[in-house]
Each structure stands twice: as C-alpha cells, then as structure tokens.
Amino acid sequence: MINSIVNQFKQRNFLFGFILILAAIILIGIYKPAVLVEGLQRSALYALIALPMALLLGIVDIINLAHGEFMMVGAYFAYFMSAQFGMDPIVSVLPALLIFFIFGLIVYYLTFKHIIGKPPLNQLLLGFGISLILSEGMTAIATNAPRKLSLDYVSSSASIGGVTFGTFEFVYVAGALIVLLGMQLLLKKTATGQAAVAVGQNPRGARVVGINVNNIYLLIFCVSIALISAIGPLFMTRYTLFPQMGSSFTLKSFSLVAVGGMGSITGVVYAALILGMGETLVLSSLKYGKWAEIIYFALIIGVIMYRSHQRQVK
Amino acid sequence: MKYSKYLAVLVLFIVAAALPNYLGLYQLQIMNFVFVYIAFALSWDMLLRSGQLSFGIAGFAGIGGYTSVLCGYNFALSPILCILIGSAVAGIVALFVGSQVLKLRGLYFSIVTLAIGEIFRVIVRNLEVTGAAEGILLPNAIFMGNATKTYWLMFAIATFTIIISILFQKTRIYYALTSISNDEIVAASSGVNIFKYLVIIFVVTSAIQGMAGAAYWQIYASVTPEGAFNLGFALLPITMALFGGVGTTWGPVIGSAILSVTAEYLKLQFPHGHLLVYGFIMVAAILWFPSGIMGVFKQFTAKFNT
C-alpha cells in the first residue's frame, strides 16, 4: 500500500495538486487555526459519507441515487434505538452494520439485481424511486418534525494554544481512517477485492475468467449499504434529523467521487479535504457564511468543465 | 383506425373546452395541476427519447417561476409577457449548461441537471433581489385570479407542449434523436450532428418547463425558494411519464392526467408521506412494465385484433 502511495507521488500532476492543497491548508492554519481543526473534522465526515459510494460507483459501476437516504434511515434507526431502549448511538453502529447488510441484500434481490447490465438510465431512475420510497416512508413513520438527541459527550471540547475545538468530532476522522484502510485492504489484498476491481473493469471478461460476477455485485452493494447506513448513527449524534436530509448528501458524495476520479479510493479523500476545508473557511466568515453550499457546486462544475474539455481535446 | 385517433383527440379537446362550465373552483385548480404536470412530464419524456435523463425539471421550473415573478414585481409587465420571459431565461440557462455538459453524457448530465435546482435555490435564498428566504409576493395573481382564464392559459400551455412533441415525432429531429439514443457512434458516422440536436432538444424542453413553472407561480402570485425548486417537481412528472409510458406523446399525457388527480386525493388522505405511492409506482414501472400503461394497452389491443 505504501508503494502505491509512493507511485502516486511520482506523477507530476498529483504532486503539484498535493503541494497546492498542502500550501492552502498551511495558509488556512496560520490565518484561522480553528478552521483547520473544524475543516479536518468536516472533511472526514464527507469522506466517510462518500467512501461507500466510491466503492459502489467507482469500483463496480453501480450508481445508487438513494445513497443519502440509506444514511438517513440508519440515523433514524439509531434515534429510535436510543429513544426506545436507551442504546448509545455509537454502540448502535454495530447492529446497524448487520441489519443494513441484510437490508441491502433484500433491496439488491428485489431491485438492483434486475437492472445490472441494462442502460445506466434505469439505475438512475431506480435509485431515484428507492430514495423517494425511503424518504417518504420515513415521513409516514416519523413525520417531518426535525429530531435531535441531546448527548452530553457530543459537546465536549478541548483547547490547545488558545484554539478551542470540539473533541467528539474526531470520531469522524477515526471513522474515515478505518473505512479508508479497510477498503484499501479489501481491494488490494483480498481475492474478493481484486475480483471486484476486475468486474468493474470488464464484467464479461471477469465472467470468462471464472469470477462469480453476481456474487461480487451483491457483496459490494451490501457492503456499501451497510457502511453508509452505519454512518447514520454517527451523523445523528451531531446533526438534526429530518426525512429529506439525504438527497444533498447523495449529490455531495457523487461530486466527491467524480472529483476524486472514478475508481480511486484515495482520490475521494483528497476531494473531501478540498470540500471540507473550503466549506469551513467560507462558513467561518460572518458575511459570506450562507454561501458555503456553493463550494461544492463550484467543485462539480469545475470538474465537469475539465472533463468535457478533455473530451474535446481527444 | 387512423380516423378514430383524430376523433379521439377531437372528443378530448371538446371535453376539455367544456369543463370550465361544469367544474367548481377546486376542480379547476386540480385541472391546472393536470396541465402543468402534462407539460412537465411530456417535455421530460421528449428529452428522454434522445437517451438523456434529466432531473432538472424542478430547476428550470423554478428559474422560469422566479424570472416571471421578478419581472412582474419589478417592472410591472403583463403576466403573459412575464411567462414568456421566464421561459426564455430557462432556455438560455439550458443553452449554457447544455453546451458544457452535453458533451459528457449519461451519469454526468443527469447529476448536473439534478444540481441545477439546488444551485439556484442557494443563490435565490441568499440574494436580496430575490427576496431571500421569504420569496416574493406579487400584488395580483394572473387575470386577477379568474379561474376560467387561468384554466385556458394552462390548457394552452399543455396543448402547446403536445403539439411540439408531435412535431418532434414527425420531423427529422425525431430520426436524429432516435439514432442517437440507439447508437451514438453509428449516428455520428452517418453524419448526424449529435451535439447540435441534443442542445436543441435540451433548450426546447427546458424552455417548456420554464414556461409551465412560470405560469404555475403566476397563478399563486408568489414564489419561495423551497417551493419553486421543490424536488417534487422533478419526482412527480418523471413518475407520471413512466407510469403512462415513455417514448410516446400520449403516454405521459395519460399518466399525468391519472396520477395528478390521484395525488390530490392521496394528499388529503395521507398528509404525511403520500408520495410513497409514487416511489413504488416508479420502481415497479422500471422493473416490470417499462412501457407503462400505453404498452399494456397496446399489448391488449394487439391480442384483441388477432
């Protein structure tokens, strides 16, 4: 794995981009140190949310437009577990992983299984339909009222050198690192992961060499759903819940995957760093704070322009 | 067979023309919904025939709505003129976006159209000119709120969309777009200017969506960011078109007519989560009956004839 990182640095473009990001981060650190810590936490949350989509879309080419909605359902699961049985949201990550793996299995067998190999339009529409079912189903169960748990440890804070910041949010950093490392190990070190990469590159070729393509799709889909739903409990400790919150995260995750480059897991993390730092920087200014949401649109548009320019050159 | 088709259209037209005399205010209001959704669903389907999936209905409807209401509010122009300006602005935005994004097709196009509505919602919510989060309230609704006249306006817009759709089915644009959606490489090598046709159809359909959106918000005489760029405007027409049957002119029309009346009923019965039904219809349509009601109907008549 270290080798692959070293190889990345040998590419000039990558090195240039990396230095640019590093310089920007150092500048921000000098200008507003609090932004640096908060930006890191926000970036980690974005990376955490986008990584499951990077696995599904980047590796095996399935677009799941209900991505954010699965996170929303996971968050509501943790909320109700906490409200009914007093289960701590952090603890409920584990049952969420198991339950939503099975949920993903059911969803895959009922819907996505019949769509694989068909035009991508069908996948988009199907995902849109599922996202509607999930968000409206949740509205029917839990109404539109925003919900929020009040937990003591969430608001804990520490200060270093006059900069005060929340300590709980480092959960996102830890989570992102664990998920990133896990995915890298899965894809690089295990036979299943290698098979998944092969299926993504050429499903027919993979079938010819004896890979069970259906099982790979099934596994990657379920892992992705389980991961994104298990992020829900972590998400809801800090943010307010409502049934429509998912769609903006689907868009953000997609733009991160597109910016990071389809098929690149580490690329998504760099893209998340840009988005998280940029948003936090804009949020920290009193006058322009409302415009923070514009940042990721700039990201999407920039990448699309770049890609379509590349296509023209070809 | 050929004459019966024209006869059916004629009967439909006469019924639609006679309706304002028999319906109450609330039913006329529902008819306005039906016409708006016909314009949305049919224009969405027209773009889909070229193989491009757009989620931008909400965005373009919102752009048209905001432009027309802003024109009426600031310059006190006549509502009809405002609607036309709204339509034109939506078309110009589509021209700009399309000339950039249509070179990259499939996924990227769909996602960018999905983002358009979100982008404009953020912009509109933060600018003072557009009334920020409260939106804008016009002093008067279009035609002073006369229900019969608004009915005719919406009816005209829906009819206009149907005529454009039929024209597209009859002219060479149809063959160009069909060849593009079948196989782009073959289309390009037989001399079809793919990019040009895709931009044309994207601009035309977006202008229609802008017009319908503009008329819709002129009836309400107000716009708010959350209302105008509501994702429901993207979801419902897509479901209606899928339900009715994509790739035809009358499929989306029938789908919109049935589902927008049902939507009103469901809204009253289940205030929370009535769109759930639409999600199920959408998923079921993609998985089990991809050619919608029209497809089922055609199968049935084919069986009946043999």
CA–CA dist A261, A271 (Å, integer): 9
Of A99-108, A235-244, B269-278, highest mean pLDDT: A99-108
Same domain, B52 and B161: yes
Within-domain flag for B17: no
Percent of chain A residues topping a pLDDT of 90: 12
> Which pLDDT does position A73 carry in this prediction?
92
Q: What is the pLDDT of residue A3?
A: 60
Q: Is A171 inside any structural domain?
A: yes
**Is B271 an 8 Å CB contact of chain A?**
no
The partner residues of A164 in beta bridges, in order of sequence, read: A159
Tell me how far apart the alpha carbons of residues B131 and B133 are, in angstroms, rounded to a whole number.
6
* Assigned domain for A239 exists: yes
Q: What is the mean pLDDT of chain A?
A: 82
The Cα–Cα gap between A121 and A127 comes to 10
Contact call for A125 and B104, based on CB within 8 A: no
Query: By CA distance, what is A303's nearest residue in B?
Result: B108
Q: Taking the CA atoms of A292, A74, B283 and A244 in sequence, report the sign of the dihedral they define.
A: negative
- Report chain B residues whose CB lies below 8 A from the CB of A120: 106-107
Mutation target among B102, B107, B233 for the A interface, most CBs of A within 10 A: B107
> Mind giving me the DSSP string for A224-257?
HHHHHHHHHHHHHHHS-B-GGGHHHHHHHHHHHH
Which of B53, B274, B291 has the highest number of chain A CBs within 10 A, making it the mutation to test binding with A? B53
Q: A291 to chain B: which residues are within 8 Å by CB? A: 122, 126
Say if A111 is an interface residue toward chain B (CB within 8 Å).
yes
Q: Which of B44, B236, B276, B291 to mutate to test the interface with A (most CBs of A within 10 A)?
A: B276
The token pair at B188 is 């390009």
B103 touches chain A (CB under 8 A): yes
Provide the ipTM. Answer: 0.80
DSSP state of A157: E
Give the pLDDT confidence score for residue B95 in this predicted structure. 92
Same-domain status, B124 and B271:
no
Main-chain dihedrals φ then ψ at residue B290, nearest 5 degrees: -60, -20
**Which residues, in sequence order, are CB contacts of A304 under 8 Å at separation 6+?**
A258, B100, B101, B104, B108, B112
**Distance from the B162 Cα atom to the nearest Cα atom in chain A, whole angstroms:** 24
Helix spans in chain A (H): 2-10, 12-31, 33-53, 60, 67-85, 93-110, 120-142, 170-189, 191-201, 203-208, 213-238, 246-260, 265-284, 294-313
Is A53 an 8 Å CB contact of chain B? Answer: no
CA A103 vs. chain centroid, Å, equals 19
Structural domain includes residue B218: yes
How far B78 CA lies from chain A's nearest CA (Å)? Answer: 33
Residue A118 counted as domain residue: yes
Of B182, B210, B229, which residue is a domain's last?
B229
State whether B219 and B258 are in the same domain.
no
Same domain, B243 and B279: yes
Q: Is B282 on the interface with A (CB under 8 A)?
A: yes
Q: Do A247 and A131 form a contact (C-beta atoms < 8 A)? A: yes
Same domain, B252 and B285: yes
Task: Give the residue from A144, A183, A202, A171 showing the smallest Cα distance to A264.
Answer: A183
Q: Pull the structure tokens for residue B68.
A: 């027309």
| Selected residue with higher pLDDT from B12 and B207 | B207
pLDDT 10s digits, B131-181: 777 777 777 777 666 777 888 888 888 889 888 888 888 887 778 777 877
**Is residue B231 within 8 Å of B58, Cβ to Cβ?**
yes
In degrees and rounded to multiples of 5, residue B119 shows phi and psi of -60, -50
Give the mean model confidence (pLDDT) for residues A264-275.
Answer: 84
pLDDT at A176 over 70: yes
Say if B189 falls within a structural domain: yes
Q: How far is B3 from chain A (nearest CA, A)?
A: 36
Asked if residue B23 is part of any domain, the answer here is no
Task: Compute the distance between CA of residue B149 and CA of residue B143 in angstroms, rounded to an integer.
Answer: 7
* Domain CATH number, residue A130: 1.10.3470
The two three-digit tokens of residue B285, written as one number = 């349509």
Q: Is A212 on the interface with B (CB under 8 A)?
A: no
Tokens 């920007």 appear where? Answer: A24
Q: Six-digit token pair at A219? A: 């596994």
DSSP states of B241-268: HHHH-TTSSHHHHHHHHHHHHHHHHHHH
Same domain for B147 and B271: no
- Please state the domain count of chain B: 2
- Between CA A54 and CA A122 the distance in angstroms is 20
Query: Of the candidates B100, B115, B273, which has its C-beta nearest A308's C-beta?
Result: B100
Inside any domain, residue A220: yes
pLDDT over 70 percentage in chain A: 92
Of B111, B274, B276, the CB nearest to A133: B276
Structure tokens at B118: 């979100």
Does the residue A3 lie in any domain? no
Note whether residue B252 is domain-resident. Answer: yes
Q: Is the pLDDT of residue B193 over 70?
A: yes
User: For residues A261 and A14, what is the distance between their CA atoms, to the nearest angstrom?
Assistant: 12
A314: pLDDT confidence band, cut at 50, 70 and 90?
A: very low
Q: Would you place residue A101 in the very low, low, confident or very high pLDDT band (cuts 50, 70, 90)?
A: very high
B262 in the same domain as B214 = no
- Domain housing B240: 231-301
- 3-class SS of residue B53: coil
Residues in chain A with CB shorter than 8 Å from the CB of B278 are: 132, 136
Question: Under an 8 A CB cutoff, do B122 and A143 touch?
Answer: no
Q: What is the pLDDT of residues B9-28, one digit of tens each?
A: 888 888 877 777 777 778 88
Looking at the fold, whether B93 and B219 belong to one and the same domain comes out as: yes
Interface contact A13, partner B, CB < 8 A: no
- Quote the DSSP letter at residue A147: B
A312 touches B: beta carbon within 8 Å? yes
Q: From chain A, pick out residues whose CB is under 8 angstroms from the CB of B126.
A: 290-291
Same domain, B240 and B282: yes
Are B252 and B225 in a shared domain? Answer: no
Please classify residue A85 by burial: count the beta carbons closer than 10 Å to its beta carbon, then call 0-12 exposed, 13-18 middle and 19+ buried.
exposed
Q: What is the pLDDT of residues A191-228, one digit of tens each?
A: 888 888 888 888 888 888 888 888 888 999 999 999 99
Mean pLDDT of chain B: 82
Which residue, of B210, B229, B248, is where some domain finishes? B229
Q: How far is B220 from chain A (nearest CA, A)?
A: 24
d(CA B158, CA A275): 42
Task: Report pLDDT for A12.
Answer: 65
Contacts for B76 with CB less than 8 Å, ≥ 6 apart:
none
- B 211-270 residues inside an 8 A Cβ radius of A: 231, 235, 238-239, 242, 270
Cα–Cα nearest to B209, from B33, B31, B29, B36: B36
Residue A13 confidence (pLDDT): 67
Q: Do A128 and B55 touch (CB under 8 A)?
A: yes
* Residue B193 structure tokens: 């200017």
B133 touches chain A (CB under 8 A): no
Range of the structural domain that residue A123 is part of:
32-313
* DSSP label of B141: -
The pLDDT value given to residue A166: 74
Q: Is the minimum CB–CB distance between A298 and chain B shorter than 8 Å?
A: no
Cβ contact B279–A136 (<8 Å): yes
DSSP A273-305: HHHHHHHHHHHHSTTTGGGGGHHHHHHHHHHHH
Q: Is residue A20 a part of any domain in this protein?
A: no
How far apart CA B58 and CA B277 sit, in angstroms, is: 20
Lowest mean pLDDT among B31-35, B271-275, B292-296: B271-275
- Do B209 and B294 reside in the same domain of the chain? no
For residue B202, how far is the Cα from the chain centroid? 12
Contact B270, B297 (CB under 8 A): no
Structural domain includes residue A9: no
CA torsion angle B181 B182 B188 B191 (round to 10):
-100
- Residue B30 inside a domain? The answer is no
Q: Tell whether B124 is covered by a domain.
A: yes
How do beta strands B222-223 and A163-166 pair?
A: unpaired
- CB of B275 within 8 Å of a chain A CB? The answer is yes
Among B229, B249, B284, give the residue marking a domain's end: B229
**Interface contact A146, partner B, CB < 8 A:** no
Q: Give me the number of domains chain A comprises.
A: 1
- Decide if A307 touches B, using CB distance below 8 A: yes
Angle, nearest 10°, between helix axes B194-220 and B57-75? 50
> How far separated are the first and last CA of chain B, in Å rounded?
15
B208 in a domain, yes or no? yes
The span from the CA of B53 to the CA of B234, in Å, is 11
Same domain, B153 and B273: no
Q: Which residues of A touch B104 (CB under 8 A)?
A: 304, 307-308, 311
- For A164, phi then psi, to 5°, come to -100, 135
Whole-number CA gyration radius for chain B? 19
Nearest CA in chain B to A295: B119
Closest CA to A44 of A230, A234, A226: A234
Burial class (CB in 10 A: 0-12, 13-18, 19+), A184: middle
**Distance, CA of B167 to CA of A176 (rounded, Å):** 53
Between A33-53 and A12-31, two packed helices, what is the crossing angle to 10 degrees?
140
